[in-house]
């Protein structure tokens, strides 16, 4: 228990702000009286209150804003480098949304399963990519049911064709 120097009431110690170097480590006036004194001072000195608030907030914002933006940009860059598949998914999702095709959330577990399956054309496991069975440019959706695993060579030769179109084109070349 401690007596407040302003209201002269005896109150428990948890009703006083902490302050080092003083008796019992607490301020001499209680929290309620400190707040009332602070409010009175702010009402009697509006220009000083406004000036100090404006200066401190502006100083804090400009002192931390640029550094914060740089930190966020660096973290974003590191994430993009270590997770290229996320960037590709965002790109395909945006394209499908822009064209007006259906866009569905693809669970990372399904995406990993696709990346572990061999190429649907040649059966290789090297340099695999994820491809849309029905191309987005031809009305295909960006969903797990419209994705397949193709190696980079097969994916580049397929381009924006259906698989049957690609096979017919290859048959006609021979």
- The pLDDT tens digits for 77-87 are 999 899 887 88
- Provide the token pair at 95: 């394209």
Judge if 1-44 and 84-173 fold alike in CATH terms: no
- Per-domain residue ranges of the chain: 1-44, 54-82, 84-173
What is the mean predicted confidence (pLDDT) over 52-63?
64
* Sequence-separated contacts (24+) of 86-90 with Cβ below 8 Å: 88/130
Q: Domain 84-173 maps to which CATH number in 1.25.10, 1.10.10, 1.10.30, 2.40.128?
A: 1.10.30
SS3 at position 56: helix
CATH number of 1-44: 3.30.60
The answer to whether 13 touches 24, Cβ cutoff 8 Å, is yes
Q: What is the dihedral of CA 99, 112, 86, 100, to 10 degrees?
A: 10
Please report which confidence band the pLDDT of residue 55 belongs to, taking 50, 70 and 90 as the band edges: low
Give the model confidence (pLDDT) of 8-20 as tens digits.
999 998 898 887 7
* Alpha helices, H only, the chain: 31-44, 46-82, 84-99, 108-116, 152-158, 163-173
The answer to whether 142 touches 102, Cβ cutoff 8 Å, is yes
Say yes or no to pLDDT of 72 above 80. yes
Ramachandran angles phi, psi of 112, nearest 5°: -65, -40
> Residue 114 to residues 8, 56, 106: CA-CA distances in angstroms?
75, 54, 11
The neighbouring-strand residues paired with 142 are: 103
């Amino acid at each position: 228990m401690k007596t407040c120097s302003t209201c002269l009431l005896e109150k428990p110690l948890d009703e006083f702000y902490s302050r080092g170097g003083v008796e019992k480590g607490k301020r001499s006036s209680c929290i309620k009286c400190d707040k009332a004194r602070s409010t009175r001072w702010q009402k009697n000195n509006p220009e000083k209150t406004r000036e100090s608030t404006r200066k401190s907030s502006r100083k804090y914002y400009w002192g931390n804003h640029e550094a914060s933006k740089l930190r966020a940009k660096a973290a974003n860059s590191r994430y993009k480098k270590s997770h290229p598949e996320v960037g590709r998914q965002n790109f395909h999702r945006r394209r499908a949304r822009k064209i007006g095709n259906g866009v569905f959330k693809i669970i990372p577990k399904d995406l990993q399963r696709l990346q572990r399956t061999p190429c649907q054309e040649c059966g290789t496991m090297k340099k695999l990519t994820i491809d849309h069975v029905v191309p987005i440019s031809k009305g295909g959706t960006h969903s797990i049911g419209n994705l397949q695993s193709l190696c980079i060579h097969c994916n580049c030769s397929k381009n924006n064709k259906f698989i049957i179109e690609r096979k017919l084109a290859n048959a006609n070349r021979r």
